[in-house]
Structure 1
């Protein structure tokens, strides 16, 4: 299974928008494009309470993409092992290939995922209000 998706590179996708100096497509934004493309291949096939979450990224960002250009993400599902799905990735702009690599997504229960997140929020609130060692001494 494979697909290609086109994504626009606007000012909010540039590295200098996020604190860098490069006025080109930021790597984290490219990874979001990759995730969206991979999800479009398989997420519609999942059970109603299942979602996928990003698990592993092995992406080589090879060349800069200027603002206002479009990028095409090509993704192909190449392996399923249990609940892990791995995709081969290539990203191209008008001048050629800008990235390649693999991305692995993990199938989880949507309900359990959000329960776990709420548990982490609750635990952080307890820790946030706990006295520090310096205050206790």
Structure 2
């Protein structure tokens, strides 16, 4: 299913999976993002990868005009990955309660597990959200 073939009604269910991966670059290291002085994959970069996997899990199952926004991430970054290493994340949708989506996310590099997280996203009507956001800028 392509992004233009979104369903008319939200089609989310527990068990859906999404994936994301990247090769660690210098721009993703702790010194580059301001989260430390050792040139290894930064926790904020891991958080972004995990959110990418969660978005990939649900994006094509949301109704036309909807999007999901991350509202909570409880992350444990357990192993270091050097620049040049491929890192991957898998998000599993574990719960759907109205607009609230819950995920379990696991990440690894080519050697070992590098982190786990629980994550919450909220489904929003994009037009309504942008309207409220614009009101804040006025």
Q: TM-score when scaled to structure 1?
A: 0.83
Looking at structure 1, the residues matched to 42 and 137 of structure 2 have their Cα atoms a distance apart, in angstroms, of 29
Q: Matches of residues 42-81 of structure 1 in structure 2 within 5 Å? A: 42-81=58-97
Shift of 1:47: 1.3
Give secondary structure in 2 for the equivalent of 1:25. coil
- Asked if 1:102 corresponds to 2:118, the answer is yes
Looking at structure 2, the residues matched to 58 and 95 of structure 1 have their Cα atoms a distance apart, in angstroms, of 23
The residue number in structure 1 matching 2:43 is 27
Q: TM-score when scaled to structure 2?
A: 0.83
The residue number in structure 2 matching 1:120 is 136
The residue number in structure 1 matching 2:19 is 4
Shift of 1:35: 1.1
Cα RMSD (Å): 1.2
Q: Which has the higher helix share?
A: 1
The residue number in structure 1 matching 2:101 is 85
Runs of 4+ in structure 1 deviating by more than 4 angstroms, as ranges, are none
Rg (Cα) greater in structure: 1
Unmatched segments (≥5 aa) in structure 2:
1-15
